[in-house]
Amino acid sequence: MTDKLFSTEPESAVLSLLLQYPEIFYESGIRFYMLSALPHQLILQEIEALVERNLVPDVHLIVSSLESSGTLSKVGGKEYITYLLGLDFKRENFREYCSLVTASHKARSLLSAASRVRAEDITTENVDEAISNLRHTLETISGETSNGTFHIGDGIRKVFEDIVARTASPGIRGVSWGFSNVDMATGGKSPGDWWIIGGRPSQGKTALMCNSILSDGRNGVPVALFEKEMNYPSLIERLVAIDSGVPIQNIKLGILTSAQVDMLKESVARVRQYPIYIDTNFLSDIHYIESAIYKYKATKGVGIVYLDYLQLLAERDDNQTNELGRISRKCKLIANDQNVCVIGASQLNRSVEARENKRPILSDLRQSGNLEEDADYVVGLYRDDYYNKETKYKNYMEFIILKARNGPVGTITLKFDPESNKVEEK
């Protein structure tokens, strides 16, 4: 079996046909490092280099180029290239030969990856990280034939067609937040976006996320919530309070009228039908969460992920700031890689409390681990009636867009019911 993985015959067939028919280069999907024989790698690497210079890689140009770079002798000289050119392989079988080369490369890569997993290196502390690293390796192997680099002209017509198509049904491209003014300012929750919702305690971070989750559920959008602060029963109570409008304190204390019980019954019947998946593993780290997101995306079609909250993913030690920055970067990579929207709640630095104006600013988040660097959107939440009991702005929440990679910044005022935690448009 191993001998077949290192067979050079399919490689010879691919190179022979490329030398005879240079125009079929773009049909191969083969890269030089996928070949097992060094001479074959060097020849294909030279072909790739010539194509990148917009030159037709004919035999004479390849030989001349290899000779100029001093690598002609390493491939067996002009004689070996002439030998490859003279081989008799059918052009119509080119794709099959490419498939054989690709499969052999993947098999060799898989054996190499498996050999690097040693039992003595795995511990209970690093098992999730080891799984994450192995999964990335396997995904890289699986998708290596897809080239991530494109000429600007390759897809520009499709982009233009998509832009024109939007004029037929204008509106946001992402999933609605449930608030039209927020949607118009941000375009909604779009795949690939990494959002950070920051605020001091009791400003409504979890409440906003729960309202957003319910909005997703009503629209049939599968979502995953990783909750590291509340247990499952408490979270369900929060969700049905928001959905029904029944005060959360009444639910907790059991002080309910028969009408409220009926309202909660109807709410439970609704919410249980929503495609909402909840993970309350308090011991989870970013590697566990990453693995779970990949699973939920593949098995449930999850399009939006919520993390409540980010500081609980990092150890509270001297390295927490750097760790939070690494977690933020990982969240952005997950959003891009899985084409999901990731939304994380974050505490703000305590220095906010020392200011007269306690509305969040971007530097409040920066002091919590450079979280904002990778984020597409950073939102700060502020409730004036929490700090100023005599304020005329009671039961309002300020949705302050502090950073928007592709849109405006500014403040949007929402209505907030502190009894049920329901958030609505002003």
Q: 54-113: per-residue pLDDT in tens?
A: 777 888 889 988 988 888 999 899 999 999 988 989 888 888 888 888 888 888 877 777
259-312 tens-digit pLDDT: 999 999 999 999 999 999 988 887 777 877 887 888 888 888 899 999 987 777
Per-residue CA distances from 339 to 189, 297, 332, 372 (Å): 11, 9, 10, 20
CA gap 135, 117 in Å, rounded: 12
The vertex-355 CA angle with 349 and 356, nearest 5°, equals 145
* Structure confidence at residue 1 as a pLDDT band (50, 70, 90): very low
Domain ranges of the chain: 2-118, 180-425
- Which residues does residue 277 pair with via DSSP β-bridges, in sequence order? 224
Highest mean pLDDT among 168-177, 285-294, 302-311, 313-322: 302-311
So what's the pLDDT on residue 380?
Answer: 92
Tell me which of 133-137, 250-254, 391-395 is least confident: 133-137
CA gap 147, 165 in Å, rounded: 27
- pLDDT mean over 200-225: 91
CA gap 30, 105 in Å, rounded: 10
Q: DSSP letters of 43-88? A: HHHHHHHHHHTT----HHHHHHHHHHHT-TGGGTHHHHHHHHHT--
* Structure confidence at residue 316 as a pLDDT band (50, 70, 90): low
CA gap 366, 90 in Å, rounded: 61
Highest mean pLDDT among 173-187, 261-275, 355-369: 261-275
Instruction: Enter the DSSP assignment of 283.
Output: T
Yes or no: is domain 180-425 CATH 1.10.630.10?
no
So what's the pLDDT on residue 282?
Answer: 74
DSSP helix/strand/coil, 139 = helix
Closest CA to 193 of 302, 325, 340, 366: 340
Position with higher pLDDT, 385 vs 152: 385
DSSP helix/strand/coil, 41 = helix
So what's the pLDDT on residue 400?
Answer: 93
So what's the pLDDT on residue 138?
Answer: 66
Q: How far apart are the first and last CA of the chain?
A: 68
CB contact set of 285 (below 8 Å; sequence gap of 6+): 128, 313
Map tokens 């049939």 to a residue: 220
Portion of the chain with pLDDT greater than 70, in percent: 87
324-338 tens-digit pLDDT: 878 888 888 888 888
DSSP helix/strand/coil, 241 = helix
Angle between the N-to-C axes of helices 38-52 and 77-85, in degrees from 0 to 180, rounded to the nearest 10? 80
Portion of the chain with pLDDT greater than 90, in percent: 24
So what's the pLDDT on residue 153?
Answer: 58
DSSP helix/strand/coil, 300 = helix
> H or E element: which one contains 279?
strand 276-279
Angle between the N-to-C axes of helices 77-85 and 59-69, in degrees from 0 to 180, rounded to the nearest 10? 160
Structure tokens at 24: 């079929």
- Tell me the H-state helices in 167-276: 180-186, 205-218, 232-244, 248-253, 258-271
CA gap 43, 99 in Å, rounded: 19
Given a cut of 60, whether residue 368 has pLDDT beyond it is no
Amino acid present at 363: S
Given a cut of 50, whether residue 146 has pLDDT beyond it is no
So what's the pLDDT on residue 392?
Answer: 87
Superfamily of domain 2-118: DNAb Helicase; Chain A (1.10.860.10)
So what's the pLDDT on residue 314?
Answer: 72
- pLDDT mean over 31-49: 87
Mean pLDDT for all residues in the chain: 83
Map tokens 């849109």 to a residue: 407
111-144 tens-digit pLDDT: 777 777 777 677 766 677 777 766 766 666 555 5
* Structure confidence at residue 216 as a pLDDT band (50, 70, 90): very high
CA gap 292, 286 in Å, rounded: 10
Structure tokens at 282: 């308090």
